[in-house]
Amino acid sequence: MEIAWNEVAIEMARQVEKEVMPLFGTPKAGETVGKNVSGDVTKYVDKVAEDVVLSRLQPLGVNVVSEEIGFVDNGSDYTVVIDPIDGSYNFAAGIPIFAFSFAVFKEKKPVYGAIYEFVPKHFYEAVPGRGAFLDGRRITVRKPERGKEALSFYTRGKCTGLINRVKRVRVLGAIAVELTYLAKGALDGVLDIRNYVRTTDIAAGVLIAREAGAIVTDETGKELELRLDATTKTNVIAVNDRYLLDMILEELENGR
């Protein structure tokens, strides 16, 4: 059975939107209701959103990797990697930067990725070899301008020398969104070197960024490989050109 993944993604995103947006910025959204498979706190809004997603995916019989429940093996060739609300802290705090993240793999190869940014209602998607799109319009990373680089940069003290070598540093609190901003040319790079992000956070964003022309690696400069689980933590560097990647790797090597 062939599945129209784009239809599944947008339908699911809108179902999640309908259920969660009345909670935006409310104390209820941020209430702790348990812990996920990695031991992190599960917020009420995370649980509401995941319940919507799991009920929609169950009839399809696909494997599921989700931030709260982990890996569900249904014996399928297809695995859906999903974060129903990436940026749930922002959501609960009333900060309008959060998104629905959805990626599909056949065996271990990505076949489709989508991110729906709730507040501006932007729908990003990508298919390997076909490009990246925002609301149906082709998007690409922007041409680099030396000395004018803008990065989203998550660190716990490593690589801080980089701050003095670029013009702007951002931390927006939703890496799925930030990867789409790289893909459409609003940022030059996104890096998280806290050994913190998981596949659920970045699977769709990495595919969209790559299809838009970004280079995506681990902290050593090797092509980033995504593991289909919800517990492995990793580092990610995504940039719009090799010069910027080399600058970041140089600063990492310096240990500053």
b/e per residue, 137-159, with b = 16+ CB within 10 A?
eebebbebeeeebbbbbbbeebb
pLDDT (tens digit per residue) in 139-185 = 999 998 998 999 999 999 899 999 999 999 999 999 999 999 999 99
Domain ranges for the chain: 5-139, 150-254
Residues 6 or more apart whose CB falls under 8 angstroms from that of 96 comprise: 24, 90, 118, 119
Euclidean distance between CA atoms 7 and 13, whole angstroms: 10
Instruction: Return the CATH number of 150-254, one of 2.40.170.20, 3.40.190.80, 3.40.50.150, 3.40.50.10470.
Output: 3.40.190.80
With a pLDDT cut of 70, the percent of the chain lying above it is 98
pLDDT (tens digit per residue) in 201-253 = 999 999 999 999 999 999 999 999 999 998 999 999 999 999 999 999 999 98
**Three-class SS of residue 160?**
helix
- CATH 3.30.540.10 at 5-139, yes or no: yes
Euclidean distance between CA atoms 16 and 164, whole angstroms: 40
**Identity of the amino acid at 165:** R
Radius of gyration of the chain from Cα atoms?
A: 17
- Please, are residues 115 and 208 in contact by the beta-carbon 8 Å criterion? yes
